C-alpha cells in the first residue's frame, strides 16, 4: 500500500506505534519525517514556481504539510487500519484522530529515510503529493484568517479577536463554536470540528460581511 518494502520492518512497526502503546513509539521518527517532508516540499515548490515570492512559497508549503493534509494522505493509504494504540486511545477512536494520523504519516517518512535513504523517501513524498502539487497555486493559499488580517491591517484597523464560546461532544468528536469580533462591529459565530476550522469559518463570514458592506 505504501509502494515500498522495508528491509527493516521493525522501523515500520515503530512508525505505526503511538506513544499510548507499550514499546518503542513513533515520536522520534515523526520528528525526523517532519523535517524531511518540509525540505522536500520546499524544494518542489521552489522548482515548480520560479517566480513565486518567499511569502507565497511559505504559505503553499504550510498548506501542503499541515496536519489536515497529512491526515488525508494517511487515510488514502489506510494507515489507520495498522496503527498500534493503547487501550484508552483505541476506545476513544484514536485511529480516526487527525493528529495521530498525521504524526504516523510523518513517522513513516522518517522510517523510509532510515531504511533506504533520502532519494527513496523523496520519491515517495513527491508521488503521494503529486496531485496536490499540480493543483496548488500561489494565489490560492491565503486562508480566511490571513486575508481578514491583511484587509484590516491595510486600513490600519484593529485586528480581530477570536474566542471559543463553547464546545460540545466527546473528546474524540468535539464541535467548537467560535466568535470573531472586530472593534465597532457585531460578532460573527461559526462552528467546526476543530478550533482552527471554526476560526477560519468565522473569519470568512466576517470578511464576507465587510466586503458586502463596501
Catalytic residues: 34, 106
Q: How many other CB atoms sit within 10 Å of the CB of residue 94?
A: 20
- Between strands 175-181 and 188-192, the pairing is antiparallel
Which set of grid coordinates corresponds to residue 186?
Answer: 457585531
Q: Which residues of 186-212 are buried (b: 16+ CB within 10 A; e: fewer)?
A: ebbebbbebebebbbbbbbbbbeebee
Burial class for 14, CB neighbours closer than 10 Å (0-12, 13-18, 19+)? buried
Amino acid at each position: 500500500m505504501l509502494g515500498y518494502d522495508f528491509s527493516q520492518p521493525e522501523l515500520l512497526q515503530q512508525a505505526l506505534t503511538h506513544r499510548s502503546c507499550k514499546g518503542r513509539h513513533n515520536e522520534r521518527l515523526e520528528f525526523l519525517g517532519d523535517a524531511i517532508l518540509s525540505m522536500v516540499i520546499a524544494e518542489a515548490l521552489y522548482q515548480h514556481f520560479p517566480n513565486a515570492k518567499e511569502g507565497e512559497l511559505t504559505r503553499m508549503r504550510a498548506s501542503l504539510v499541515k496536519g489536515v493534509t497529512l491526515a488525508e494522505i494517511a487515510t488514502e493509504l489506510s494507515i489507520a487500519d495498522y496503527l498500534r494504540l493503547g487501550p484508552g486511545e483505541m476506545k476513544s477512536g484514536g485511529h480516526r484522530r487527525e493528529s495521530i494520523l498525521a504524526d504516523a504519516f510523518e513517522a513513516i517518512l522518517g522510517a523510509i529515510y532510515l531504511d533506504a535513504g533520502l532519494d527513496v523517501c523523496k520519491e515517495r513524498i513527491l508521488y503521494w503529493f503529486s496531485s496536490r502539487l499540480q493543483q496548488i497555486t500561489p494565489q490560492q493559499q491565503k486562508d480566511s484568517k490571513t486575508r481578514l488580517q491583511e484587509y484590516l491591517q491595510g486600513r490600519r484597523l484593529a485586528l480581530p479577536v477570536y474566542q471559543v464560546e463553547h464546545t460540545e461532544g466527546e473528546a474524540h468528536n468535539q464541535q467548537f463554536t467560535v466568535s470573531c469580533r472586530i472593534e465597532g462591529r457585531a460578532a460573527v459565530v461559526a462552528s467546526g470540528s476543530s478550533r482552527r476550522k471554526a476560526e477560519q469559518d468565522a473569519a470568512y463570514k466576517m470578511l464576507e460581511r465587510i466586503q458586502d458592506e463596501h
